[in-house]
Structure 1
């Protein structure tokens, strides 16, 4: 009998603690929406975290590989932007603001990549002096990726959005990757 009372008391305390001050569980709709947002970033994340294989001994191949990488990553950025447009309005506070900031960051990165590709197209690979200045300038957008916060970082602005991102499989995968994006 005493064990039963203790069990009932513990259960009542657990219910009380869960109801007081603990974060509310996100709705299924919030988790599904957040999962879509994180899923929209997966292609870009893979592309951005796969470094180009630069052969420094072959300037022509190095410039071509860098151009290929920038093009593929820029294409994935566009796919991410298209997918983010398709997720629709956020069912959770802070979601629309987060996606807006994310889209702005992705557009900035894509613009930098496109600019770098334009610079690379003008490089005379037979001119060592031009290679020495143009290629590092073209690599600048890649350096900026290192300074970007983790893609799910902005989801912590809202308690429910943060909780939804913890439950969303695609968000867990993004955190495991540790990839850039806004």
Structure 2
């Protein structure tokens, strides 16, 4: 059962990394993002200006606290099913609160220097919103499980992993947005984005 909980953190981290910044491998014009939409008319040179680097750094920074929260395996008392249930539900609740904070930061970034700033910030906020919904649903499901019934607990925890995978699929659709907006190069220069891509977010200080 414990390995399922670790998987939840991995799924959530993957979602947030995809949401905040495209992967480094998507930095070319041949990126594999599955989303569709118009290509920005802005040039690559303008897109990786200092202003755009600073802006995309804040977009990535909005997710760092969330990644730190959800990539940290919850401390669970596996000898006490009822207590373990409460601890896991609390961890999910902490994640939901962190995601809510990220959404608020992203909404504040809609008025950015790039022509697609509003579209990008809105897309990221929407995906974070779906993650919050999934976390809230998962918390409700875990709290509703019967701690006296191991099968009930196992089913609730498995559903959490399933829900996180569904959100990860949505995050994949965001992966190509930075490429289509010519912001992949700016993302490579932004410290918070590099922290996410290198997996060092837990020790990074978010830029708000």
TM-score bracket, shorter-length normalisation: 0.7 to 0.9
Asked whether the 8 Å contact 2:146–2:152 carries over to 1, the reply is yes
- Of the three residues 51, 71, 91, the one matched with 2:113 is 91
TM-score, normalised with respect to structure 1: 0.72
Pair 1:156 & 2:205 matched: no
* Contiguous gaps of at least 5 residues in structure 2: 1-42, 202-208
Asked whether the 8 Å contact 2:93–2:135 carries over to 1, the reply is yes
Bigger relative contact order (CA 8 A; separation at least 6): 2
* Bigger Rg over Cα: 1
Corresponding residue pairs, total: 157
Give the Cα–Cα distance (whole angstroms) in 1 for the partners of residues 75 and 109 of structure 2.
34
Runs of at least 4 residues of structure 1 off by over 6 A? none
How far does the alpha carbon of each residue in 1:84-112 deviate from its partner, in whole angstroms, 9 at most, with x for none?
11224131133322222211111111001
Give the Cα–Cα distance (whole angstroms) in 2 for the partners of residues 139 and 68 of structure 1.
16
How far does the alpha carbon of each residue in 1:9-42 deviate from its partner, in whole angstroms, 9 at most, with x for none?
xxxxxxxxxxxxx942522221221111111111
TM-score, normalised with respect to structure 2: 0.64
Map of 1:103 onto structure 2: 125
Seen in structure 2, the aligned counterparts of structure 1 residues 164 and 138 have a Cα distance that, compared at 3 Å, is closer
Asked whether the 8 Å contact 2:55–2:112 carries over to 1, the reply is yes
